[in-house]
Amino acid sequence: MHDPLRVIAETDGVFLRREVLGCGFDDKMIRRMVRARLWHRVRQGAYCFEDVWAASTVEERHLILARAVLRTTPGPVVLSHTTALIVHGIAVWGADLTKVHVTRLDNGAGRRERDVEHHVGLVLDGDVVENAGLLVVSPARAVVEAATVMSLESALVSADSALHRRHCHPAELHRLFGRMNHWPGSQRVHVVLHHMDGRAESPGETRARYMFWRYHVPVPELQFEVYDECWRLVAVTDFVWHDHRRFGEFDGAVKYGRTYLQEGETPADVLVNEKKREDLVRGITGYGCSRLMWPELSRPGETSARFRRELGL
């Protein structure tokens, strides 16, 4: 026989105290299960199974919390801002995921709780969609909203991701910003819309672009296609500076993780293949190569100085 609480959790993300009591348990049993690390308390009155919580990523835990908020919040609300980005599968970096963002659909006032930010604002019919069974603001609105509460660098990561994954179009973002340009934090949105670029394929590439802009490294061209003498495409580099005869590659740690490995391939094999690819691009273009690793983004001043030197500036 299936555990009814497990069925509820698989359907609704969490199970509630009233549902535990309805299964014949009491509050003492709830405390005992939490102490035994069989259940995880997501928020007041809402729980999930510890094995599910332990196996979840930070983003997945945020969505579990979001479902708990929806099940325990009175009044109509819609998931918004950073939470909506995660629901839509848009990349999020450097954001506070300890709080769920909702926008009220009634006349209630905005407020803050320990784990929830309640926002107010005009919501039109086309602003709300359904995704994974959840009511959530559209991807374009989520990008603009989130940019008002995130750092500029974080907001640019999400804007690039939304464009690259074709969740929205630049014109749509500009149109929405025209409605929201009086919101607190809207000046940051203006900068994001100016610098966003859907050709960036990863948060690391976006952060590199932000670093170049912030620390006065010439703006590179993105996704430079390299062809051999027979006009066959042999490589696409992350960055290129034609005036300085140099191309650049971002090497995120995940690039050599299991996600990108072919069957029977090791990280060492990937590194060898990357070196061969780099040599091929050097031979065809005559350009030098500058590589950027994820940890270097945490030292932007030092890293930017290296790039300026390598570009001959």
Cα Rg of the chain, angstroms: 23
Cα 260 to Cα 268: distance, rounded to the nearest angstrom: 12
Mention the CATH class of domain 204-310. alpha beta
Each residue's pLDDT expressed in tens, for the chain with a length of 313 residues: 468 999 999 888 999 999 999 999 999 999 999 999 999 999 999 999 999 999 999 999 999 999 999 999 888 999 999 999 999 999 999 999 999 999 998 877 788 889 999 998 888 888 999 998 999 999 999 999 999 999 999 999 999 999 999 999 999 999 998 887 777 777 889 999 999 999 999 999 999 999 999 999 999 999 999 998 889 998 899 999 999 999 999 885 444 333 444 555 555 555 666 777 888 899 999 999 999 999 999 999 999 999 999 999 9
Residues 137, 145 contacting (CB under 8 angstroms): yes
- pTM of the entire structure? 0.87
pLDDT of residue 91: 96
Q: Name the residue among 184, 187, 140 with its Cα closest to residue 165.
A: 140
Q: Name the residue among 291, 286, 260 with its Cα closest to residue 275.
A: 291
- Beta strand spans in 52-163 (E): 77-79, 100-104, 111-112, 116-119, 128-131, 134-137
Cα 18 to Cα 39: distance, rounded to the nearest angstrom: 15
pLDDT of residue 3: 85
pLDDT of residue 252: 56
Residue 117, helix vs strand vs coil: strand
pLDDT of residue 271: 62
Chain region(s) in the chain for CATH 3.40.960: 204-310
